[in-house]
Amino acid sequence: MYEKVLLLINGEKSMDEKQQVMQQVVPILEPNIQKLTIRQTFSKEEFQEMCQEATHFSLIIIYGGDGTVHLAINELGKMDAPPPLAVLPGGTCNDFSRSISIPQNLKKAAQTIMSNKIRNVDLAYVNGRYYVNFAGVGLITEASENIDPQLKSSFGRLSYFVSAIQQFQQSQSQPFYLEVDGEEIEEEAEMVLVMNGFYVGTHQFPLPDISVQDGLLDVFVVKESNLQMIREWFSLNYIYDGNQESQIRHLQAKKVHVETSEPKDVDTDGEVYMQTPVDIHVIPVKLKMVVGEEF
């Protein structure tokens, strides 16, 4: 039984969607909570303020997508002892909620949250901001920035795959300079990803040892992409063999520095707040989160 719980609903949601959340989720939450406070925010600033003021709650539940999770962890990450965070998936991809095994069905997600399985998870810190899932430069940023809003509205997560294919056809490799735990790497690549989670665009990375609890970041240097590789990656059939000559190079590290020959946008959890160069480091077990049964 939780004593005081705050349910935050992203302000971009329509009234119909808010009603759906209330009808499906609240009847599951209320019997397990002494006092449930429900707030809908109407701007990023208001959402951030609500998170800042939520220190006296025993649990914060947010309804939204990866951008909403990103906003929340950037406020909670500043606190010495933040309350645990739970996520009701309400976005297009909901990648981090997938990484912590939260069901994508609203009712099942609410039931999972009430099971009270709380674990510590790592956060990553880049140029003054936290992120929880990934930071990326190159193809992934271009694909995210060039998604057709109408296509995204109509087809949801499929729009990311379509945009990736479109950007792949136009993409060119560029020089990257990396420092990975002090090891200097210079590479021509189309994309660099520094992962904490292991889902992008609803698709799981095809490696068994990525964890949000291992105190490590997973660095992927995609040297050259092609349509077949993208298809295999998105269908989980791509096999990474650890060969340095492979088209995808994978390293693990606690600290990563990324530079490009000219400033490039950096996508963090689907949001762009900065450009290269960036310094990234992992902060082990920084935040308590409600996780799924299979986590």
Q: What are the residues facing 137 on neighbouring strands?
A: 192
Task: Assess whether pLDDT exceeds 60 at residue 169.
Answer: no
**Residue 7 contacts residue 27 (beta carbons within 8 Å):** no
- What architecture does CATH give domain 130-283? Sandwich (2.60)
Residues of the chain with CATH 3.40.50.10330: 2-124
Structure token digits, residue 25: 């989720």
**Reported confidence tier of residue 39, pLDDT bands at 50, 70, 90:** very high
Per the structure block, which two tokens stand in for 71? 């906003």
Task: Kindly name the residue from 53, 187, 271, 294 that is annotated as catalytic.
Answer: 271
Q: For the chain, what percent of residues have pLDDT higher than 90?
A: 67
Q: What percent of the chain lies above the pLDDT cut of 70?
A: 82
Residues of the chain with CATH 2.60.200.40: 130-283
HEC per residue, the chain = CEEEEEEEECCCCCHHHHHHHHHHHHHHHHHHEEEEEEEECCCHHHHHHHHHCCCCCCEEEEEECHHHHHHHHHHHCCCCCCCCEEEEECCCCCHHHHHCCCCCCHHHHHHHHHCCCEEEEEEEEECCEEECCEEEEEHHHHHHHCCCHHHHHHHCCHHHHHHHHHHHHHCCCEEEEEEECCEEEEEEECEEEEECCCEECCEECCCCCCCCCCCCEEEEEECCCCHHHHHHHHCCCCCCCCCCCCCEEEEEECEEEEEECCCCEEEECCEEEEECCEEEEEEEEEEEEECCCCC
Kindly list the distances between the CA atom of residue 46 and the CA atoms of 42, 92, 180, in Å, as whole numbers in the listed order: 7, 22, 37
How far is 10 from 39, CA to CA, in rounded Å? Answer: 9
Residue 185 has pLDDT above 90, yes or no: yes
Residue 112 has pLDDT above 60, yes or no: yes
Q: Output the pTM of the full model.
A: 0.88
- pLDDT for the residue numbered 119: 98
Q: Where is pLDDT greater, at 91 or 205?
A: 91
pLDDT, position 69: 98
Q: What is the pLDDT of residues 231-275, one digit of tens each?
A: 565 555 555 555 545 778 899 999 999 999 999 999 999 899 999
Residue with tokens 């296509």: 151
Q: Is 279 a residue whose pLDDT tops 80?
A: yes
What CATH number belongs to 2-124? 3.40.50.10330
Asked whether the predicted pLDDT for residue 196 surpasses 50, the reply is: yes
Whether residue 171 is predicted with pLDDT greater than 70 in this model: the reply is: no
| Least confidently predicted of 32-46, 66-80, 144-158, 251-265 | 144-158
Average pLDDT over residues 207-236: 78
Tens digits of per-residue pLDDT, 124-161? 999 999 999 999 999 877 765 545 455 444 444 444 54
Active site residue 271: yes
